[in-house]
Amino acid sequence: MTEFVSLSVDEGVGTIRIDRPPMNALNRQIQGELLEVADEAATRADVRAVVVYGGEKTFAAGADVKEMASMSYADMTLVARKLSAGLGAISTIPKPTVAAVTGFALGGGLEVVLGADRRIAGDNVKLGFPEILLGIFPGGGGTQRAARLIGPARTKDLIYTGRLVKADEALAIGLVDEVVPADEVYTRAVAWATQFTAGPALAYAAAKAAIDNGLDTDLRTGLDIESALFAGVFATDDAKAGTASFVENGPGKATFTGR
Q: Are residues 112 and 226 in the same domain?
A: no
pLDDT tens track for 12-53: 999 999 999 999 999 999 999 999 999 999 999 999 999 999
**Is residue 259 one of the residues assigned to a domain?**
no
Say how far apart CA 40 and CA 96 lie, in whole Å.
15
pLDDT tens track for 179-188: 999 999 999 9
- Which of 169, 179, 30 lies closest to 119, judged by CA? 179
Whether 184 is catalytic is: no
Q: Are residues 185 and 211 in the same domain?
A: no
**Is residue 256 one of the residues assigned to a domain?**
no
Say how far apart CA 85 and CA 144 lie, in whole Å.
13
Say how far apart CA 41 and CA 116 lie, in whole Å.
13
pTM over 0.85: yes
Q: What is the pLDDT of residue 65?
A: 87
Q: Are residues 218 and 184 in the same domain?
A: no
- The domain in which residue 171 lies consists of 5-194
CA angle 88, 93, 98 (to 5 degrees): 80
pLDDT tens track for 141-186: 999 999 999 999 999 999 999 999 999 999 999 999 999 999 999 9
Q: Are residues 134 and 225 in the same domain?
A: no
**Is residue 38 one of the residues assigned to a domain?**
yes
Edge-first strand listing for the sheet containing 164-166? 104-106, 126-128, 164-166
**Is residue 255 one of the residues assigned to a domain?**
no
- Look at strands 13-18 and 5-10 and give their pairing: antiparallel
**Is residue 92 one of the residues assigned to a domain?**
yes
**Is residue 234 one of the residues assigned to a domain?**
yes
Contact 239, 200 (CB under 8 A): yes
Say how far apart CA 121 and CA 137 lie, in whole Å.
24
Q: Are residues 98 and 48 in the same domain?
A: yes
Exactly one of 111, 184, 226, 248 is catalytic; name it.
111
Q: Are residues 190 and 131 in the same domain?
A: yes
Q: Are residues 230 and 110 in the same domain?
A: no
Whether 56 is catalytic is: no
Count of the separate structural domains present in the chain: 2
Q: Cβ of 181: how many Cβ atoms within 10 Å?
A: 11
Q: What average pLDDT does the chain have?
A: 97
Exactly one of 3, 36, 131, 184 is catalytic; name it.
131
**Is residue 258 one of the residues assigned to a domain?**
no
Q: Are residues 129 and 145 in the same domain?
A: yes
Q: Are residues 52 and 164 in the same domain?
A: yes
Query: Where residue 173 sits, what CATH number does that domain have?
Result: 3.90.226.10
Q: Are residues 225 and 132 in the same domain?
A: no
Q: What is the pLDDT of residue 148?
A: 97
